[in-house]
Structure 1
């Protein structure tokens, strides 16, 4: 019996080791030359990227136990019972779109931005499970996407905030890469894209506060308070960020993942005010409050970056924390009203036109779903 258990454990370890080392899901590793280039960044120290503030990244054994027990227990209302509603998007509507700039939400933190007759995808995690294997994560809350990747037209650029599975998905990139002209990432994330077959000349990596232009648009890599990693040994080997997107007439902010800190005010002072800001709101817990905001902080961050209109993101997609699925939107909705901030909450797949976003009817659609 003991020998049999030992053999079983050995087989499991071998399979896990092979999976981690051979599966393309885990991405690439930086070369010594690339690491040498990262060393010029103020955000890189002793072989890893760092936050500006002192941030707790490792949970204690007690916290890990609490988290594991919480996930294993049957927590009520953490997942919608019947899936969330999705408004379908026609590929011809995307191709023929000539109106004012708009955003289409895919749930969680994924967007299609149409601006100056260009299609920009932001954090396009369009897969079913935010994990390296389907058995290692929970499924998407919605049973479908507004439009499948195969039906999408040409994509001019993709912006990626960091390399976690709920923001950078191997399967999505494989389906998208032939459609995309350019990819923009924080430092190091391009290593994964190259591993997945995307040419180096189609990837632009930026450090915090660095800017680049793309066919009349300006992309600015701005700070976030978070971390990175896709495997067991690559934590903080790539940088994480928020993004500013500027055209001649619009100024947009995308928070990526972040704990609440003073970088929001710095971004607002340097690049605000913003016409529209997509700000993280979901997957929070007291045990990791340094790296994910609470909903009340989401609303405050909207004030800090000087946004005219905010949209809560990082909710409505996946269960990655122990709160109920409605908790993020209910709490931020209440706080935004207290702070007198204009906030929009579209259905998945519903277009928001940026110039008229403040007039959008906030219909609290989530109240109709269990």
Structure 2
């Protein structure tokens, strides 16, 4: 069995997970009924499109990633910094606490050949060698484009703590991460770390790395609140009333990383369209929003630029402040207005 598949679900783990109020009928469930419109009749056509219909789905050249500047990133000048590495990978420095969210730095987001899902940038795994010690590694769920075996393996000596959704711990243990470093969270679970409050928030998605363990691990987003700044990371998921609930309970937020990309009408309930992502940002009460889950991989059939272009259009129509930095750029929360449309340089 390939190591990339992660840990197996055991009877003991199932018993532990079943204690969650979100575990029903032998698996985790969303807050509302959620499904994908994929069946045996449309699956062959969908697969043929996914791997044969490639026009516009990939940039014509590798997207560059700016070199990591340790001095600039660590010298935060009394504000928080972040770096986006494409897709949903975000590195945060909150006043000296280094937090890495969904570190997926591999070149391929699929564990099974020949169905490779290649990154838009050249392999950036080596960037991990340049990063400082990671105080806290956060994960939204265990899908391959978020929980990456190669990245975990490369980071293992740098990471002090791993905070993950329920059911994800087994994968990290399989990959030789010490169980003492791992803490699992259910929805609305809270914990303080270095005077920063973290809350694992609901999303409308799914979990699992194999067919046999579908939804045997939880999914969600993160609220991150320091005494000076607040962040919201949506994780993957379709639109729903949970965004308004998060905003009411935990908002407002200074900055939000909102999923926007890899959408399709066949799975519209587990991935948001751009107009829904903007509405989610408004529901959560985010001051400045950045679309993520794009510029990394093509996991749907839309043009690679469509998520950001449509998101900006809807955000401006709704009066929503937005920013989209270049890959690898260091963004200070005091000066997060990054509106140079760098993607226009690439076909």
User: What displacement does 1:264 show?
Assistant: 0.5
Structure with the higher helix share, 1 or 2: 1
Whether 2:344 is the aligned partner of 1:367: answer: yes
The 5-angstrom pairing of residues 326-337 of structure 1 reads 326-337=305-316
Whether 2:244 is the aligned partner of 1:265: answer: yes
| TM-score for both structures, normalised by structure 1 | 0.90
What is the aligned counterpart of 1:149 among 125, 128, 137? 128
User: Does the CA contact (< 8 Å) of 1:87 and 1:146 recur in 2?
Assistant: no
User: Does the CA contact (< 8 Å) of 1:94 and 1:153 recur in 2?
Assistant: no
Alpha carbons of structure 1 residues 129 and 99: separation in structure 2 relative to 1, 3 Å: farther
Whether 2:154 is the aligned partner of 1:165: answer: no
| TM-score for both structures, normalised by structure 2 | 0.96
Equivalent-residue separation in structure 2 for 1:184 and 1:48 (angstroms): 21
Partner of 2:279: 300
Please say which structure displays the higher CA radius of gyration.
Answer: 1
Partner of 2:23: 44
Partner of 1:347: 326
User: Does the CA contact (< 8 Å) of 1:29 and 1:191 recur in 2?
Assistant: yes
Deviates more, 1:105-114 or 1:66-75: 66-75
Alpha carbons of structure 1 residues 134 and 63: separation in structure 2 relative to 1, 3 Å: closer
1:163-188 deviation per Cα after TM superposition (whole angstroms, max 9, x unaligned): 00000000100111111000001101
User: Does the CA contact (< 8 Å) of 2:107 and 2:124 recur in 1?
Assistant: no
What is the aligned counterpart of 1:238 among 212, 217, 222? 217
Equivalent-residue separation in structure 1 for 2:51 and 2:179 (angstroms): 42
User: Does the CA contact (< 8 Å) of 2:305 and 2:343 recur in 1?
Assistant: yes
Aligned residues: 347
User: Does the CA contact (< 8 Å) of 2:253 and 2:284 recur in 1?
Assistant: yes
Report the 3-state secondary structure (helix = DSSP H, G, I; strand = E; otherwise coil) of the residue aligned with 2:281.
helix
Alpha carbons of structure 1 residues 136 and 91: separation in structure 2 relative to 1, 3 Å: farther
What is the aligned counterpart of 2:89 among 110, 135, 151? 110
User: What displacement does 1:74 show?
Assistant: 3.1
User: What displacement does 1:90 show?
Assistant: 2.6
User: Does the CA contact (< 8 Å) of 1:63 and 1:287 recur in 2?
Assistant: no
Structure 1, unpaired ranges of 5+? 1-21
1:185-227 deviation per Cα after TM superposition (whole angstroms, max 9, x unaligned): 1101111111111111100101001101112111110000000
Partner of 1:190: 169
Alpha carbons of structure 1 residues 32 and 219: separation in structure 2 relative to 1, 3 Å: same
Equivalent-residue separation in structure 1 for 2:264 and 2:53 (angstroms): 17
Alpha carbons of structure 1 residues 134 and 94: separation in structure 2 relative to 1, 3 Å: farther
